[in-house]
A = this chain, B = another copy of it.
Amino acid sequence: MVATPIESPSLIEIAKKTRDSARQLATLSSQERDRAIEAIARSLESAAPEIIAANEADCKQAQIDGISKALLARLKLGETKLKATIDGVRDVKKLPDPVGQVQIHRELDEGLILKRITCPLGVLGIIFEARPEALIQITSLAIKSGNGVILKGGKEATRSCQTLVKVIKQGLANTKVNPDAVQLLATREEIQALLKLDEYVDLIIPRGSNDFVRYVQDNTRIPVLGHADGICHLYVDKAANIEKAVEIAVDSKTQYPAACNAIETLLVHKDTAAQFLPKVAEALGRHKVELKGDEITREFLNIAPATEEDWKTEYCDLILSIKVVDSLEAAIGHINTYGSKHTDAIATEDNFAAESFLSQVDSAGVFHNCSTRFADGFRYGFGAEVGISTQKMPPRGPVGLEGLVTYKYQITGNGHIVADYTRANAKSFTHRDLT
């Protein structure tokens, strides 16, 4: 007898297994899913030393490979970060169940009842960079929402991810959730293959650089949750309160410059430029922000020129371009032309101007007299954020657990047929909403 060599399972086999386990997961009760999440938290707690050791090995190798300090900081999963992440798992458990919510409950006719009810999407494909705690967060969100998940972490986090998935599967082993619902891919080549699996994967969430997200969007038929660029603006209107506007500008630019909801361009009404520009330049200077300006701005400030390219650039850094505009309409026009439909704000005491801005700016977030940095699922009170979408179709903006579920229409009847509603002397629909 010749022994058949054991081959590593193909990606399609992995995807099928995830799909099957996800179908079973979708039928579990809220309590059963919450118990599985608690089991994951406990398993992670027990295995903390093993997880930290694996992560330390990753960090050592990364240092040998010479990765940047910033990346190393994100890769590192010490005891404190792990504990906080496990607390986060229990926070996810406490969130309201996104599955089984009845959105429509309607009598179509006597004994013919329509329900629109939320249900899991199926299988999520998550591709993330260094941060290993992202794996823990997204897995708990997937199980909370009844979805299977296929994970692919960065190469530098290989040992951390393998250990985490092993520990998570151990936790699930004694629950109603089949451990096969959580899968980890090993190689970078599998990303391309994953993007082609539109039969098995219902949503891709890429977490990484703008270029990487754009690559994913351009190379898959699977819906993608996320955004490539975050080119956000603050427009300081002629009726702005200068002090508030300066504070909002500083916060929007400097509170976390690498975030997608930080501003890249400041638009200033010409009537307020002389008063506002020197003050904001001084305040931003204290935060070491490098300024670039258009011609008129440079009449007030001694700064480098901003070019057409600047209006299209997400600096992700302490750099800000400034443009003086003739009117509110010009500001709205600039934002709708150069913005990325993420988040844009107006500073003004004129409520009419604010209303025009909020209704005409074509972005997921339109803010009045507050920082663009508020654009965030946790700050919106969603309890979790699975991504921020800059697409026009919902889900748009910061997306909570709502983005991981869909709905189906259920009708129950008692032998009802359509012919009875179309023939002569047809029955008619009642369309009575039930509460």
Binding site for B on A (CB under 8 A): 23, 26-27, 106, 108, 112, 114, 119, 121-122, 202-203, 217-218, 221, 223, 241, 243-244, 247-248, 250-251, 255-256, 336, 354, 356, 358-360, 362-371, 373-375, 379-381, 391-394, 396-398, 406-419, 421-422, 429, 431
Contacts and interface: CB of A to CB of B under 8 A. Distances in A.
Nearest to A106: B381
A412 B360 contact: no
29 contacts: A108-B380, A114-B380, A122-B362, A223-B391, A241-B415, A243-B415, A244-B414, A247-B417, A255-B418, A358-B410, A363-B408, A364-B408, A365-B409, A366-B408, A366-B409, A368-B413, A369-B414, A369-B416, A370-B413, A370-B414, A373-B417, A373-B418, A374-B413, A374-B418, A379-B429, A394-B406, A396-B407, A396-B408, A398-B409
Contacts of A412: 354, 367-370
Contacts of A27: 356, 359-360
B370 A121 contact: no
Secondary structure class of chain A's binding surface, majority of residues = mixed
Given A359-B26, A407-B396, A408-B365, A415 B247 contact: yes
A104 to B, nearest CB: 8
Nearest to A119: B359
B251 A413 contact: no
B381 A393 contact: no
Contacts of A416: 369-371, 374
A422 B376 CA distance: 13
A414 B140 CA distance: 36
Chain multiplicity (copies): 2
Contacts of A247: 415, 417
B417 A121 contact: no
Nearest to A415: B244
B394 A248 contact: no
Given A366-B410, A411-B370, A381 B108 contact: yes
A273 to B, nearest CB: 20
Given A365-B410, A379-B421, 9 more contacts: A23-B362, A26-B359, A223-B391, A243-B415, A255-B417, A366-B409, A370-B416, A371-B416, A397-B408
Contacts of A250: 417
B375 A431 contact: no
Contact of A370 (B218, B375, B415): B415
